[in-house]
Amino acid sequence: MHKTALKLFMIPTVLADDTQDQVLSPGVISAIESLDIFFVENVRTARRFISSLRLGKVIDELTFIELNKDTPEAETYDALKRLTRDAGVISEAGCPGIADPGAVAVNLAHQLGIQVVPLVGPSSILLALMASGLSGQSFAFHGYLPIDKVQRKKMIQTLERESRQRQQTQLFMETPFRNNQLLDTLLETCQPDTMLSIAADITAATEFLKTMPVRNWKSNKPDLHKRPVIFSIG
Amino acid sequence: MHKTALKLFMIPTVLADDTQDQVLSPGVISAIESLDIFFVENVRTARRFISSLRLGKVIDELTFIELNKDTPEAETYDALKRLTRDAGVISEAGCPGIADPGAVAVNLAHQLGIQVVPLVGPSSILLALMASGLSGQSFAFHGYLPIDKVQRKKMIQTLERESRQRQQTQLFMETPFRNNQLLDTLLETCQPDTMLSIAADITAATEFLKTMPVRNWKSNKPDLHKRPVIFSIG
């Protein structure tokens, strides 16, 4: 089979438990129905996700190929090269290829002439931006901020400056158990009139989305401990 | 009715004709079913979009409030303030609040204490990034590049430099009838080994998604005239 006839589907998953019936597009469901080979960030989560869709697929007959940050690129390359059927990429949460190792598989797929097909599903970054009211004409996502406290403050100041100079919304995140500390650092570092948007538990029943000037957040701090959050300033 | 009880739904629409059954999440469909007031970028397109869903809604009984780049902010503010029922925001294509005037309504909704609910749907920017194989750990979207040829070249050089220094994917777009010229300018301005990703007609049957070094594009130029395209370099 000629490689150019093969497709690699980028398959979004859920951001919050039990939301699959609300947030997945029909394209995602039909791709999962038609495939039996998946590159996945975590095999256990991927199995559970596919089971949750109740498509009648026999999970034990599916092939899962691990693709996480420790997977050697050569291993993914070989697996793609050996493909004789279409395959999918599924990450831990949200859209594969965004803030996860899925982009490696896509990069290699382009090199091998495999057609990449992105499917519509939830992205916490995009949903946070849509709900922020901050500029969606120009925006940047930076992933995790530096862990070192001094470097972190410097980075926040840089992002605040760029958001003003470029009128560009700056989005970033933190490991959920350190969200409250990041919020404290933001509130003590940013100018009082800088707009800060907090998007927590996106798509869940506990979803919290709010944008206010930094000065207003100081006396209204939400508890963000262990909740997935996207922060934006603009 | 207290404003805090009100919701403003951010409702994505399609990127390509006749794709509604593939790309819209069930959350979008149920929001449209439940609402009868919509802030829309273009009334005619919005009516046609809602009709295309065949939900049995009587289009003439719905209220459409125009929200485009020429709408005075005070007009949108007054309309939001007068709301006594939940409403939706629909843009011309894809996700409202991203690269369109929808963010204004969201900003005002936050000021008025109206809850903003973003719904999952197609975003050409996000789908292009997912399919690019370029870094999704850090990325920036810049909207349209400057029209002036000298400024445009300078901007491309800046973006290329930032993509290297920051390992940050740079995404941008052009008015569809000038896409071929932008591609020419990119090919004559960028370094031969810079990776260029072209995402055209995303979600349509004619979808074209490819990432190659600039040197390889020179002898393989696709015709991008009048096709919606997201360009990325990284």
Q: Percentage of residues in chain B with pLDDT exceeding 70?
A: 98
Mean pLDDT for the stretch of residues B55-84:
94
- B88-97 residues labelled b (16+ CB within 10 A) or e (exposed): bbbbbbbbbb
Q: DSSP secondary-structure letter at A22? A: H
For residue B226, give how far its alpha carbon lies from the nearest alpha carbon of chain A (Å).
21
Sign of CA dihedral A210, A121, A53, B19: positive
Helix/strand/coil for A191: coil
Measure the CA–CA gap between A84 and A36, rounded to whole angstroms.
11
Q: Which of B126, B132, B171, B207 to mutate to test the interface with A (most CBs of A within 10 A)?
A: B126
CA-derived radius of gyration, chain B:
20
Summarize pLDDT for B204-227 with one digit per residue, the tens: 999 999 999 999 999 999 999 999
- Provide the domain limits for residue B68: 3-118
Distances (CA, A) of A95 to A13, A92, B166: 7, 9, 22
Angle at A230 between CA B6 and CA B85, to 5 degrees: 10
Q: With beta carbons less than 8 A apart as the criterion, state whether A120 and B127 touch.
A: yes
B31 lies in the same domain as B99 = yes
Q: Which of B13, B23, B25 to mutate to test the interface with A (most CBs of A within 10 A)?
A: B25
Residue B168 near chain A (CB below 8 Å): yes
Boundary-marking domain end, from B61, B84, B118: B118
Q: With beta carbons less than 8 A apart as the criterion, state whether B180 and B150 touch.
A: no
What is the predicted pLDDT for the residue at A4?
A: 56
Q: Which residues pair with A115 in a beta bridge?
A: A7
Mean pLDDT for the stretch of residues B61-66:
95
Residue A91 near chain B (CB below 8 Å): no
Q: Which residues of B touch A138 (CB under 8 A)?
A: 140-143
Q: Compute the mean pLDDT over every residue in chain B, rounded to the nearest whole number.
A: 94
Domains held by chain A: number: 2
Sign of CA dihedral A107, A108, A109, A112: positive
B195 lies in the same domain as B154 = yes
Q: Which long-range contacts (CB under 8 A, 24 or more apart) does A44-47 make?
A: A45/A92, A46/A13, A46/A90
Q: Which of A21, A99, A133 is nearest residue B137 as measured by Cβ atoms?
A: A99
**Could you tell me how far CA A111 lies from the centroid of its own chain?**
24
B151 lies in the same domain as B172 = yes
Summarize pLDDT for B97-110 with one digit per residue, the tens: 998 889 999 999 99
Measure the CA–CA gap between B26 and A185, rounded to whole angstroms.
38
What is the predicted pLDDT for the residue at B2?
A: 46
Q: Are strands A208-213 and B37-40 parallel, antiparallel or unpaired?
A: unpaired
A38 lies in the same domain as A71 = yes
Please report, for the domain that includes residue A38, its CATH number: 3.40.1010.10
What is the predicted pLDDT for the residue at A5?
A: 85
Q: With beta carbons less than 8 A apart as the criterion, state whether A103 and B136 touch.
A: yes
A98 lies in the same domain as A193 = no
**Could you tell me how far CA B9 lies from the centroid of its own chain?**
16
Q: DSSP secondary-structure letter at A234? A: -
Summarize pLDDT for A96-127 with one digit per residue, the tens: 999 888 999 999 999 999 999 999 999 999 99
Helix/strand/coil for A40: strand
CB within 8 Å of chain B, chain A residues 31-90: none
> In the 3-class helix/strand/coil scheme, how is chain B assigned residue by residue?
CCHHHCEEEEECCCCCCCCHHHHCCHHHHHHHHHCCEEEECCHHHHHHHHHHCCCCCCHHHCEEEECCCCCCHHHHHHHHHCCCCCEEEECCCCCCCCCCCHHHHHHHHHHHCCEEEECCCCCHHHHHHHHHCCCCCCEEEEEECCCCHHHHHHHHHHHHHHHHHCCCEEEEECCHHHHHHHHHHHHHHCCCCCEEEEEECCCCCCCEEEEEEHHHHCCCCCCCCCCCEEEEEC
Measure the CA–CA gap between A51 and A58, rounded to whole angstroms.
9
Please report, for the domain that includes residue A196, its CATH number: 3.30.950.10
ipTM entry: 0.94
In degrees and rounded to multiples of 5, residue A213 shows phi and psi of -65, 150
Boundary-marking domain end, from B118, B141, B165: B118
A106 lies in the same domain as A130 = no
What is the predicted pLDDT for the residue at A6?
A: 95
Residue ranges in chain A modelled with pLDDT below 70? 1-4
Measure the CA–CA gap between A186 and A196, rounded to whole angstroms.
9
List the single residue in B with minimal CA-CA distance to A104. B133
Boundary-marking domain end, from B118, B153, B184: B118
Q: With beta carbons less than 8 A apart as the criterion, state whether A9 and A115 touch.
A: no
For residue A122, give how far its alpha carbon lies from the nearest alpha carbon of chain B (Å).
5
A40 lies in the same domain as A78 = yes
Q: DSSP secondary-structure letter at A60? A: G
Mean pLDDT for the stretch of residues B65-75:
93
B145 lies in the same domain as B214 = yes
What is the predicted pLDDT for the residue at A2?
A: 45
In degrees and rounded to multiples of 5, residue B142 shows phi and psi of -115, 5
A104 lies in the same domain as A137 = no
B192 lies in the same domain as B100 = no
B90 lies in the same domain as B155 = no
B19 lies in the same domain as B103 = yes
What is the predicted pLDDT for the residue at B4?
A: 56
Q: Which residues pair with B40 in a beta bridge?
A: B66, B90
